[in-house]
């Protein structure tokens, strides 16, 4: 080649252009593909879900509330609602919208897909928890109920989604969960989080950022009109009552279930011994099971043995075998320090 400089520049331009076009998610191709997807069906199904939500929470639904939910104008919302009505999924009476039986099962099907997918993401993928909901919002419109059923079968027919919501059964029944809002607990009460509301996103992100998750043990330390102070897995947190209403808890009745030691396994030094007390509920699915398969169950003795170069992972001696664990997991195993 006569002039390498020109080739270099040309090569650079070509590579950049190809990247700009093909780059996953942010490339032109990806953007074009996203914009080309079926937005009509989505609007219909989202509206239907909204009507279902109203019914579930015993509120009443109108075209205006649909418009609000879909972030669109009244005309569009009216169009959507008329279409749903002509499909026999909802009926209207006196401006208010009601589900037909068929509409209810349709909505439950969407919810089943949504929650199953969240469960899949939480237990079988490594997608961040703040993204579970938004990913499921997309998948619920594309996955068929048959696909969802076979996914459920593969995952061992899970009962609740990672936020604690019950997953509608294959027969489209929706079991009740019970529980009370966090701000209904009294000072000194000990409960377990059974549900974290994932909407609005901003509040959910805040709860997640505080490290809260489903299955966590909550101990109310103090309760005032403007804030609730509580210990979650041994760490103190403060929440405004309005935010606390997004958390549902169940009081722990069985005293033996109450954990009082939240020393993380990662805090043990080489040579120290700990007794496993429990595994945080934040560790889910297959990863949790694998740990138990390896002998990390309450009562097991565990001793750090080898620390790798960067201090992570660490190999622990447990039930006669040596097992390496990453810190993000040894943080989630609670032990009582012994000897």
Partner 1 sequence: MDKNNTDKTEKLLATAQNLRWQVGENFHESLMESIYSDAARIADRAVKVDDVKKKYDWDVKIDKLVTSRTFGFPLMFLLLAAVFWITVEGANVPSGLLASLLVDFLHPVLKDFMLSFSPEWVAGFLIDGAYLSMAWVIAVMLPPMAIFFPVFTLLEDFGYLPRVAFNMDNLFRRAGAHGKQALTMSMGFGCNAAGVVATRVIDSPRERLIAIITNNFSLCNGRWPTQILIASIFIGAALPAHIAGLVSAGAVVFIAVLGILLSLVVSYGLSKTILKGEASAFSLELPPYRPPKIWQTLYTSLIDRTIFVLWRAIVFAIPAGMAIWLSANVMIDGTSIAEHFISWSNPMGLLLGLNGVILLAYIIAIPANEIVIPTVLMLTVLTAGNPELGAGTGVMFELESQSAMAEIFRMGGWTALTGINLMLFSLLHNPCSTTIYTIYKETGSVKWSVIATVLPLIMGLVVCFFTAQLWMLFAN
Partner 2 sequence: MNPSPENCANCPVHNMGNLKKLGVDMSDYDYVIALAGNPNTGKSTVFNNLTGLRQHTGNWPGKTVTRAEGGFIYSDKKFKIVDLPGTYSLLSTSTDEEVARDFILFGQPDVTVIVVDATRIERNLNLVLQVLEITDRAVLCVNLIDEARRHNIIVDIRTLGKDLGIPVVATAARQREGMDELLKSIEEVASGKYTCNPYRLSKVNPGIRKAVERIQNEIKEQFPDLPNPRWVAMRLLEGDQSIIDAIKSGELGDLKAEKQIHQPETIQN
Of 67, 102, 66, 70, give the one whose Cα is nearest residue 86: 102
Q: What angle do CA 245, 285, 338 make, to 5 degrees?
A: 90
Q: For residues 206, 136, 286 and 210, what is the CA-based torsion angle, rounded to 10 degrees?
A: 0
Q: For partner 1, which is the closer residue by CB, 11 or 211?
A: 11
Task: Kindly write out the interface string for residues 254-283 of this chain, putting x where it contacts partner 1 by CB under 8 A and - elsewhere.
Answer: -----------------------------x
Pair 337, 265: CB distance under 8 Å: no
d(CA 58, CA 54) in angstroms, rounded, equals 6
Count of residues that bind partner 2 according to CB under 8 A = 20
- Candidates 75, 292, 337, 338; binder of partner 1 (CB under 8 A) is 292
Residues near 204 by beta carbon (within 8 Å), at least 6 away in sequence: 130, 133, 196, 197, 198, 246
Q: For partner 2, which is the closer residue by CB, 58 or 256?
A: 256
Q: Which parts of 159-178 interact with partner 1 (CB under 8 A)?
A: 159-160, 169, 175
| Nearest approach, Cβ of residue 210 and partner 1 (Å) | 19
Q: Which parts of 309-338 interact with partner 1 (CB under 8 A)?
A: 309-310, 312-313, 315, 319-326, 328-329
Q: Is the dihedral of CA 7, 12, 17, 19 positive or negative?
A: positive
> What's the token pair of residue 269?
């030094």
Residue 213 touching partner 1 (CB under 8 A): no
d(CA 124, CA 143) in angstroms, rounded, equals 17
d(CA 330, CA 307) in angstroms, rounded, equals 13
Residue 232 touching partner 2 (CB under 8 A): no
User: Which partner, partner 1, partner 2, none, binds residue 153 by CB below 5 to 8 Å per kind?
Assistant: partner 2
- Candidates 58, 126, 225, 256; binder of partner 1 (CB under 8 A) is 126
Count of residues that bind partner 1 according to CB under 8 A = 53
Stretches 37-45, 51-59, 72-80, 305-313: which one binds partner 1 (CB under 8 A)?
A: 305-313
Stretches 38-46, 122-130, 138-146, 241-249: which one binds partner 1 (CB under 8 A)?
A: 122-130
**Residue 179 CB-half CA count within 13 A:** 25
Q: Which parts of 286-325 interact with partner 2 (CB under 8 A)?
A: 286, 289-290, 292-295, 318-321
Stretches 22-30, 46-54, 92-100, 183-191: which one binds partner 1 (CB under 8 A)?
A: 22-30
d(CA 59, CA 47) in angstroms, rounded, equals 15
d(CA 210, CA 238) in angstroms, rounded, equals 9
User: Which partner, partner 2, partner 1, none, binds residue 324 by CB below 5 to 8 Å per kind?
Assistant: partner 1
Residues 67-104 as b or e (16 or more Cβ within 10 Å = b) = bebbeeeeeebeebbeebeeeebbeeeeeebebeeebb
User: Which partner, partner 2, partner 1, none, binds residue 5 by CB below 5 to 8 Å per kind?
Assistant: partner 1
Residue 128 touching partner 2 (CB under 8 A): no
Tokens 């939480």 belong to residue: 122
Q: Which parts of 140-159 interact with partner 2 (CB under 8 A)?
A: 152-159
Q: Is residue 139 within a helix (H) or strand (E), and if so which, with residue range?
A: helix 129-142
Q: For partner 2, which is the closer residue by CB, 225 or 256?
A: 256
Task: Give the interface with partner 1 as residue ranges (CB under 8 A).
Answer: 1, 4-5, 7-8, 11, 15, 23-25, 124-128, 159-160, 169, 175, 215, 283, 286-287, 289-295, 297-300, 305-310, 312-313, 315, 319-326, 328-329
């Amino acid at each position: 080649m006569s002039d390498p400089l020109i080739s270099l520049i040309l090569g650079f331009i070509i590579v950049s252009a190809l990247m700009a076009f093909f780059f996953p998610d942010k490339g032109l191709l990806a953007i074009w593909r996203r914009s080309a997807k079926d937005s009509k069906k989505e609007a219909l199904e989202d509206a239907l879900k909204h009507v279902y939500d109203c019914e579930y929470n015993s509120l009443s639904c109108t075209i205006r509330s649909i418009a609000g939910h879909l972030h669109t104008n009244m005309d569009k919302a009216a169009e959507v609602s008329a279409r749903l009505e002509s499909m026999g999924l909802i009926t209207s009476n006196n401006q208010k919208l009601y589900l037909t039986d068929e509409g209810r099962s349709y909505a439950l099907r969407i919810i089943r897909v949504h929650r199953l997918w969240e469960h899949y993401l939480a237990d079988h993928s490594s997608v961040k928890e703040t993204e579970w909901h938004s990913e499921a919002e997309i998948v619920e419109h594309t996955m068929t109920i048959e696909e969802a059923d076979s996914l459920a079968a593969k995952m061992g027919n899970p009962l609740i989604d990672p936020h604690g919501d019950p997953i509608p059964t294959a027969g489209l029944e929706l079991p009740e969960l019970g529980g009370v809002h966090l701000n209904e607990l009294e000072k000194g009460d000990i409960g377990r989080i059974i549900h974290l509301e994932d909407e609005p996103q901003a509040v959910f992100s805040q709860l997640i950022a505080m490290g809260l998750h489903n299955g966590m043990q909550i101990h109310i330390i103090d309760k005032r009109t403007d804030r609730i102070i509580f210990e979650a897995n041994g760490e103190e947190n403060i929440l405004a009552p309005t935010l606390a209403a997004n958390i549902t808890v169940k009081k722990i009745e069985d005293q033996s279930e109450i954990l009082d030691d939240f020393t993380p396994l990662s805090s043990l030094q080489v040579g120290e011994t700990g007794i496993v007390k429990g595994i945080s509920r934040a560790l889910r699915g297959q990863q949790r099971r694998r740990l138990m398969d390896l002998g990390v169950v309450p009562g097991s003795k565990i001793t750090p043995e080898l620390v790798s170069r960067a201090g992570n992972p660490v190999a622990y001696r447990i039930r006669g075998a040596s097992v390496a664990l990453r810190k993000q997991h040894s943080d989630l195993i609670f032990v009582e320090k012994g000897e």
